[in-house]
Amino acid sequence: MCGIAGFTHSSGCPDSSKIWEIMRSIVHRGPDQQGVWESAHVSLGAVRLKIIDLEHGEQPMLSDDGETVLVFNGEIYNNAELRQELEGLGHRFHSRCDTETLLRAFLQWDTAAFAKLRGMFAAAFWTESRRRLVLVRDRMGIKPLYFAKHNSNIYFGSELKTILHHPEISRRIDPLSLDRYLSLNYVSGERTMVEGIEKLPPGHFFDDGKISAYWTLAFHPDVSLDLESAKDELDRLLRSAVREHLVSDVPLGVWSSGGLDSSTILHYAAEAAPHLKTFSISFHGREFDESQYFREVAKKYGTDHHEFDLNADMDIQGAVEELAQYSDDPCADAGLIPVWFLSRMSRQEVTVALSGDGADELFGGYNTYLADDYARKLRMIPRGVRKLAARMTSLLPVSDDKIGLDYKITRMLNGSLLDPVEAHFFWNGTFNRAEKRELLLDPVEQPALTGDNFLWLDQLTYLPDDILHKCDRMSMAHSLEVRPPFLDHRIVEFAAKLPQNLKIRSGKLKFVLRELMKDKLPRSILSRPKEGFDIPVHHWLRTVLRPLLLDTLNERTVRASGIFSWPAIDRAIRAHLERRANLGYHLWGLLVLFLWIRRWGIETKEAVSEPLSAVSTP
């Protein structure tokens, strides 16, 4: 695992100090080795976290003729297969590392090599004689890759900050991305919160100024597929993917929440590699503490188990303030905090950890899918009755629970008044259109989101731009590589052909996965309710995070932004702190955003004075 960055310079006058400055800013991604390669036309840099072939594989890596240079972040799981094929074509390798395999694959097949790769990766290839830059990102967007164009130059990197180091790149906030952030809790699609900086889409490559897809996920459910056949195929795919994800020359463990997804990964990992280490976060004394479940699983598989109790006595405020440094685009997923502490603990024991990320999006694991169904039934009740009931929820007692009954009822009734697609994203604690109009001084009116396959929407947006973003930034902040076997593209393609009744059946989420693991995992794991992996936001913003909230979202700062209405934010803060409403998730999103703006010196007032154009969210 590594971090990469680079930029072209059409002036032909490279400033070597700039690329080294950038490398220092992402050294947390690769503390084991740092390197730079420059010519009159390009500067390339890489920081390496050594995982495979610790003695070789230094980056940037040059072809034997010195003509092509590669910087690479990720892991290629079919490294051995590709190496064998390339050797049959006459290539002679100098190392065992997958970096050399990727370089030789590109030399052999050019951009056609990308469809042959199985893994998580972001890479840049430079061909000196042709002054050609090729960028590529893995199919699911597990590894990040940002880029920007300015005049005739290209700037790219694993983290947004690698591009912000260039003074010629403006730091103006992008109004459309701000609107998406307030709607979704993250910035979806190709845009970022900084105007002019983009994300290379998953499954795409950049070549000669053009972006092209080398892989597209198609949803074509096979209605003839029965449960037993699906279980057999999923069992085969999981066993193969987990075995490949276990390949490492450094210590490796498994993240375990005691839920179905991580326990499934642990089951297959324990089959292939006994005596594993497992890592978990507990919330002792909280109603959502999962310790009884992950301890049961750890005992079943005889793991060397480690757990960390995340409570209000920790330096929560310090961790929140550090998020602005490491999270790139602001992300209001409250799971950032536990993943931060989980990564920090894991890195003390291992360099690589397997996770259960991706199963919820592939197989239908979120309670939001059930909420979508409940809301569809609620909409049969006259709208006027639902509006009245929604207003009456203000009479409910306000709890400090992470997602209390009052919050569920209020959210469900208000969500039933929205368009079904907008409601799907609204369940996760975001602002609806009416709330954004009140909050923003000059709101952007985007067309409504469209689409009726919510799993497809979540795989396009929520998975790469929230879940994988969160996991990559928080783990790499601690120099930890996290691998998600569920996102092996063969499993993703298999899930895409499953009929809906094998994903969600009679209110049972992830039906086929649950049935597969029925005789493998403890009954308690299979029957436990779904818990979100985040913090008690409502409670902590009234207690341990209250000083940070009031210091950050103060009248002077809000008014100076030129974007937000201070009276609207002030009303929300007062209502929450006085326990008249649970607005913790709304305030958390604003807190994260303002910390990010302050950390990176993002321009705000100037951006909203420009003409705004509406585009649809992917």
Are 201 and 304 contained in the same domain? Answer: no
pLDDT, greater one: 430 or 445: 430
- In the predicted model, is pLDDT for residue 535 greater than 90? no
Q: Which of 191, 213, 235 is the last residue of a domain?
A: 213
User: Residues 55, 152: one domain?
Assistant: yes
pLDDT at 73: 97
Nearest to residue 148, comparing CAs of 138, 137, 135? 135
573: containing domain: 536-612
Residue 607 lies in a domain: yes
Q: Given 527, 546, 576, which residue is the final one in a domain? A: 527
Please calculate the CA angle 153-136-140 and round it to the nearest 5 degrees.
135
Buried b (16+ CB within 10 A) or exposed e, 381-408: eeeeebeebbeebeeeebbbbbbbebbe
The CATH number that applies at residue 152 is 3.60.20.10
pLDDT(173) > 80? yes
391 in a structural domain:
no
Residues 160 and 34 in one domain: yes
Same structural domain, 191 and 243? no
Nearest to 343, CA basis, from 183, 487, 175, 478 = 478
Tokens, residue 218 = 């198609």
Number of separate domains in the chain: 3
Q: Are both 203 and 243 inside the same structural domain? A: no
- Whether 110 and 160 map to the same domain: the answer is yes
- For residue range 183-217, what is the model confidence (pLDDT) as tens digits? 999 999 999 999 999 999 999 999 988 999 999 99
- Does 349 fall in a domain? yes
Type and span of the H or E element at 102 = helix 98-109
Spatial distance between the Cα atoms of 280 and 251, rounded to a whole number of angstroms = 17
Look up the CATH number of the domain holding residue 502. 3.40.50.620
Q: What does the longest C-alpha to C-alpha distance in the chain come to?
A: 75
Same domain, 571 and 593: yes
Residue 221 lies in a domain: no
Query: Which token pair is 7?
Result: 């930029």
Which stretches does DSSP call E strand in 326-367? 352-354
Instruction: Say if residue 167 is in the same domain as residue 59.
Output: yes
Residue 184 falls within a domain, yes or no?
A: yes
Confidence tier at 1 by pLDDT (50, 70, 90): low
Mean pLDDT of the chain: 91
Q: Model-level pTM?
A: 0.92
Residue 459 per-residue DSSP state? H
Same domain, 171 and 86: yes
Q: Which has more confidence, 416 or 534?
A: 416
Domain presence at residue 392: no
Residue corresponding to tokens 């056609």: 112
Q: With bands split at pLDDT 50, 70 and 90, how would you rate the model's confidence at 451?
A: low
For residues 498 and 584, membership in a common domain is answered with no
Q: Which of 133, 188, 140, 180 is nearest to 157 (CA)?
A: 133
pLDDT at 532: 66
Q: How far apart are CA 170 and CA 552, in angstroms?
A: 24
610 has pLDDT over 60: no
Q: Looking at 527, 557, 578, which one is the last position of a domain?
A: 527
129 located within any domain: yes
Instruction: Say how far apart CA 127 and CA 175 lie, in whole Å.
Output: 36
Say if residue 492 is in the same domain as residue 604. no
Measure CA of the first residue to CA of the last residue in the chain; give whole Å.
Answer: 29
What pLDDT, on a 0 to 100 scale, did the predictor assign at position 450?
A: 55
Length of the chain: 618
Same-domain status, 140 and 265:
no
- Consecutive H or E run containing 496: helix 489-496
Least confident of 72-81, 113-122, 288-297, 332-341: 288-297
Task: Identify the CA nearest to 334 among candidates 187, 536, 515.
Answer: 536
- Count CA atoms within 13 Å of residue 205 on its CB side: 20
- In-domain check, residue 425: no
